[in-house]
Structure 1
Amino acid sequence: MIRGSMKPFSKIACIGEVMIEILGHPSGEARLNVAGDSYNTAVYLAQLARGSDCTVSYVTALGQDTFSQRALHEMQLFGIGTDHIERRCDSNIGLYAIDTDAAGERSFTYWRSESAARTLFSAPGKVTLDVLAQFDMVYLSGISLAILPASVRTALIDALAAYRRSGGLVAYDSNHRPRLWEDAQTAIDVNNAMWGVTDIAVPSVDDEMAIHGDASEAAVLARLKASGVTDGALKRGMAGPYDLTRSTSGLTFAPATRVVDTTAAGDSFNAGYLFARASGADQATALQAGHELASRVIGHKGAIIKI
């Protein structure tokens, strides 16, 4: 839902899990990258923000292992603020591997059940929910919520509601990984609660249909509207985004000319769209910016490219 006119925002926090990405090659070799859905969005936001007054920070928990240190180093290279990252002595960073088919569609294998990110906002820790107050906008995803214990998840949603009452903006992508949730009903309930504390919604139609069992895009749009979602974009892949503000009409989006790997398509869209909004762009311009960045990213292997 949106509360009147939206104020400008320049201090952005992305909350979630950063992981080590194992990218296979037909030769049998593998490349290690640093990635993760909300982290990918932070990377693209930080790259877009260079030379502007917009700052991007990442909020997560990491271990003390070599790969956690690598992730921290790469964040700093991209200009992402790392002052609000918990460091755990008893947990490590999570891992995932990507396989892509001939059409560029990907499948994932995860090793994340004991990742440090699952302890974010949990005692004992120095990073608390009070950190939200330091930012103009907070962005998170369904994965950000699904990895947390139920009690912490509830506390985070409550904190986001209080943050909004104090003038903060919340952006949310219901990015869905069924295996991360306790059960299907919990995913439905948590996402419904999140839409109630969201200002800018950036879900994908596929995720929304998977979570709620909607039979069509029209059903997704009707349900989101009934939930109070009136700002943002519904991602529809090559069809381009749908304007959830319903303030534009007749927009068309050129399909990507080259599709190699669709990893981070939605994450990069979110960054392009949200940065345009942060910069004061109108809805049509922001939708186009998100679509163009996503189209560029899926022309390359892996989640992260330099832009």
Structure 2
Amino acid sequence: MTKIFFLGECMVELRELDDAMMGQSFAGDVYNSAVYMKRCFPKISVSMITAIGRDRLSEKMLSRFKSEELDTQFVFRHPSKVPGMYFIETDSAGERRFTYWRNDSAAKKIIPFLNDDVVTQLTSADMFFFSGIPLAIIDEDSRDAFWQKLERLKLAGVKLVFDPNYRAQLWASKEEAIEQFNRAFQISDIALPGIEDLSVLYGITSAPEAIDFFQQYQLAELVVKDGPNSVVTLTGTERLSHQIIPVTNVVDTTSAGDAFNGVYLGARLSGRTVFDAVQLGAKAAGTVIQHPGAIAPLVAFKQAMSEAGI
């Protein structure tokens, strides 16, 4: 069976329903991608690698993982930490603003759980996905160990996939983020950058600039996302520009890129062409942003993706 591991953080999501009530769910960039991949490609074994606590919300989070049919073998239980939490607000255009509480997040402590035996088990994967957010939140003194573990996976033939999802507040400085992202690009086989993040960190404002920038790395596959404008891919010497039809009914842009990542990678793991994978990923992103919250309702999402050919 085709297998992929997603390493990252899932958080408790709070959203205002009205002046007196809030709704509660679970979300996080890597988790979101895992969910959308599994919904579209159920034959792929999709596993979360994270740490949660032993509290009631952690129990509910673990149940949610299982309800989305994610493998939880490598969801570890920290004895004293708890899940991070955030409150999301959206404006009339669907753009979002977040307030975070993650200082005591169990996911920050994931690296010590990844001992030699666990890493050996992870070498059975076809892909290993991580983003700039788990890279930012793991303890700084654990980062060298993290890179060593990724080296073992790469040597074992596991394809490493990186999304440079940048959140300035998670880093001590922009220079620190750039140094760590450069290291991620050097070791990765596939990169899924967005122009917005590249612009902030590297001053890159267009897909052609991004393509030129990434020539210095040995990537087998590059997917440059420019919001609703286009997606540009580079595989070997084949460069393609994919036009995206914008969605007019935008409710909440949260996790649009996450949905794209999960469905694109699921399509590629299932043998689909780059062109087909981009179209399916764009359809997933366009569907998600028409619903509030990071995780779209299961029935509506599956119906939209069925219409797209999955």
TM-score, with length taken from structure 1? 0.91
Measure, in 1, the Cα distance between the counterparts of 2:118 and 2:127: 17
- The question of whether the paired residues in 2 share the 8 Å contact of 1:248 and 1:284 is answered with no
Structure-1 residue corresponding to 2:306: none
Measure, in 1, the Cα distance between the counterparts of 2:8 and 2:92: 30
Structure-1 residue corresponding to 2:308: none
Residue 128 of structure 1 deviates from its aligned partner by 4.5
1:255-270 superposed matches below 5 A: 255-270=246-261
The structure 1 residue matched to 2:7, chosen from 2, 11, 15, is 15
The structure 2 residue matched to 1:295, chosen from 265, 272, 286, is 286
1:176 and 2:166 correspond? yes
Q: Structure 1, residues 193-223: CA drift from partner, whole Å, max 9, x if none?
A: 0011111111111011112233544333321
Structure-2 residue corresponding to 1:48: 40
Q: One-letter code of the match for 1:223? A: F
Structure-1 residue corresponding to 2:307: none
Residue 268 of structure 1 deviates from its aligned partner by 0.2
Structure-2 residue corresponding to 1:3: none
1:139 and 2:135 correspond? no
1:23-62 superposed matches below 5 A: 23-50=15-42, 52=43, 54-62=44-52
- 1:83 alignment partner, SS class: strand
- The question of whether the paired residues in 2 share the 8 Å contact of 1:229 and 1:244 is answered with no
Structure-2 residue corresponding to 1:98: 88
Measure, in 2, the Cα distance between the counterparts of 1:127 and 1:260: 44
Measure, in 2, the Cα distance between the counterparts of 1:183 and 1:122: 25
- 2:213 alignment partner, SS class: helix
- 2:129 alignment partner, SS class: strand
Measure, in 1, the Cα distance between the counterparts of 2:180 and 2:143: 9
Q: Which runs of 5+ in 1 are unaligned?
A: 1-8
* Greater Cα shift, 211-220 or 147-156: 211-220
Residue 172 of structure 1 deviates from its aligned partner by 0.8
The structure 2 residue matched to 1:148, chosen from 121, 138, 153, is 138
Q: One-letter code of the match for 1:42? A: A
Measure, in 2, the Cα distance between the counterparts of 1:126 and 1:88: 18
Number of equivalent positions: 297
1:276 and 2:267 correspond? yes
Q: Structure 1, residues 152-211: CA drift from partner, whole Å, max 9, x if none?
A: 222222221221121111111000111111221110011000011111111111011112
Q: Which runs of 5+ in 2 are unaligned?
A: 303-310
The structure 1 residue matched to 2:55, chosen from 65, 69, 79, is 65
- 1:235 alignment partner, SS class: strand
Identity %: 34
Q: One-letter code of the match for 2:50? A: T
- The question of whether the paired residues in 1 share the 8 Å contact of 2:110 and 2:138 is answered with yes
1:189 and 2:179 correspond? yes
Q: Structure 1, residues 222-259: CA drift from partner, whole Å, max 9, x if none?
A: 21222333513111111131113262546322112321
Structure-1 residue corresponding to 2:97: 107
Measure, in 1, the Cα distance between the counterparts of 2:117 and 2:98: 30
Structure-1 residue corresponding to 2:305: none
- 1:196 alignment partner, SS class: helix
- 2:32 alignment partner, SS class: helix
User: CA 1:256 to 1:215, structure 2 compared with 1: closer, same or farther past 3 Å?
Assistant: closer
Measure, in 1, the Cα distance between the counterparts of 2:232 and 2:114: 42
TM-score, with length taken from structure 2? 0.90
- The question of whether the paired residues in 1 share the 8 Å contact of 2:189 and 2:218 is answered with no
RMSD: 1.9
